[in-house]
């Protein structure tokens, strides 16, 4: 699998990441197979969050990979904190306590990346900065980032936080392309021209922040997968045609479409099916042409001005 340099060269990692949200529901045997498969196809970056399975996903992962010093050196671990029951919490106290819990469950001394999970409108950047500096100074977290944040929210944090924010997890798929649509339909009096994200795509490219697309196969907000769905006949026809021509599955084409963007994104896949992991990993070897990229974009119902 090809590598990507997160944060514009800060951290080399596999260009596809395995999201472990659903790992809490696996048996020990199945979880071990999932992790082993991911490693076999070249995925070395694993995405977690303290709320996934109420923390159980991290515990299951640590057991599945057989976490120890020699194993830890071969993988990159990312986790997220900030979502609590009924509210968001970016306080220094919560960030520090969350990281302690994450490290304990993952059976590791450090995280490669810690993300703030969803924006907290009550955030006090100075508190975040204090927490990040302490975690970085003590070696518990090496790099930091955010999730679902717009440019001004990132700027607000970055004015206080000493460490460079290297990643931003954002919902993005072939059928969820708002951040792309607004950049194509500039100066148009149509819905697709509405910029709901503050030009986050261009901002991240300018600042060297790696976009990590989550739910890359979903449409809407967890409404279901668009692949094989009768709601998207033209899109699936086009994807299937390309998949057949390139000798891969439709899942590989969907991920290859994201990887083709020059923003150098790192899609996070959440499947716990070993064969699907193998199929998706082949996206790393698929190069879509510019015409092919736009063909898929149009087939999803998008029109060009």
- pTM > 0.95: yes
C-alpha span between 142 and 110 (Å, rounded): 7
The rounded percent of the chain whose pLDDT value lies above 90 is 99
- For CA atoms 246, 249, 255, 258, the dihedral sign is positive
Residue in the structure block whose two tokens are 């899109």: 235
Residue in the structure block whose two tokens are 């149509």: 190
Q: CB neighbours (10 Å) of residue 300? A: 20
Residue 137 burial by CB count (10 A; 0-12/13-18/19+): exposed, middle or buried? exposed
Those residues whose C-beta lies under 8 Å from the C-beta of residue 81, and which sit 6 or more positions away, are 49, 50, 94, 95, 98, 99, 102, 114, 115, 116, 117
Contact 48, 20 (CB under 8 A): yes
Q: CB neighbours (10 Å) of residue 254? A: 25
Residue in the structure block whose two tokens are 């800060």: 10
User: Domain 8-230+264-282 carries which CATH code?
Assistant: 3.20.20.100
Contact 15, 259 (CB under 8 A): yes
pLDDT at 221: 84
pLDDT in tens, 250-302: 999 999 999 999 999 999 999 999 999 999 999 999 999 999 999 999 999 99
pLDDT in tens, 37-92: 999 999 999 999 999 999 999 999 999 999 999 999 999 999 999 999 999 999 99
Per DSSP, the three-state class of 19 is: strand
- Locate the domains of the chain by residue range: 8-230+264-282
pLDDT in tens, 86-116: 999 999 999 999 999 999 999 999 999 999 9
Nearest to 175 by CA among 296, 17, 16: 296
User: How many CA atoms does the CB half-sphere of 118 hold within 13 Å?
Assistant: 13
CA angle 44/148/88 to nearest 5° reads 105
Those residues whose C-beta lies under 8 Å from the C-beta of residue 27, and which sit 6 or more positions away, are none
C-alpha span between 29 and 31 (Å, rounded): 5
Those residues whose C-beta lies under 8 Å from the C-beta of residue 137, and which sit 6 or more positions away, are none
C-alpha span between 114 and 135 (Å, rounded): 10
């Amino acid at each position: 699998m090809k590598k990507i340099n997160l944060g514009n060269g800060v951290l080399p990692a596999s260009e596809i990441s395995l999201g472990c949200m659903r790992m809490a529901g696996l048996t020990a045997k199945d979880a071990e197979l999932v992790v082993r498969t991911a490693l076999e196809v070249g995925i070395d970056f694993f995405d977690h969050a303290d709320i996934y399975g109420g923390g159980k996903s991290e515990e299951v992962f640590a057991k599945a990979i057989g976490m120890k010093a020699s194993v830890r050196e071969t993988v990159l671990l990312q986790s997220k904190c900030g979502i609590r029951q009924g509210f968001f919490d970016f306080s220094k106290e919560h960030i520090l306590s969350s990281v302690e819990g994450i490290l304990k469950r993952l059976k590791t001394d450090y995280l490669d990346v810690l993300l703030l999970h969803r924006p907290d409108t009550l955030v006090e950047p100075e508190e975040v900065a204090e927490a990040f500096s302490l975690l970085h100074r003590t070696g518990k977290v090496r790099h930091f980032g955010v999730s679902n944040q717009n440019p001004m929210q990132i700027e607000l944090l970055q004015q206080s936080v000493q460490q460079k924010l290297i990643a931003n997890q954002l919902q993005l798929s072939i059928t969820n392309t708002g951040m792309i649509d607004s950049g194509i339909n500039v100066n148009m009096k149509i819905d697709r021209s509405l910029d709901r994200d503050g030009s986050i795509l261009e901002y991240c490219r300018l600042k060297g922040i790696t976009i990590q697309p989550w739910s890359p196969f979903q449409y809407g907000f967890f409404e279901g997968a668009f692949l094989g769905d009768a709601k998207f006949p033209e899109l699936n026809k086009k994807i299937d045609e390309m998949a057949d021509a390139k000798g891969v599955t439709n899942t590989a084409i969907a991920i290859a479409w994201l990887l083709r963007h020059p923003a150098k994104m790192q899609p996070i896949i959440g499947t716990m099916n070993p064969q699907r992991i193998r199929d998706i990993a082949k996206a790393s070897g698929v190069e879509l042409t510019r015409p092919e990229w736009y063909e898929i974009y149009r087939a999803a119902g998008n029109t060009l001005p």
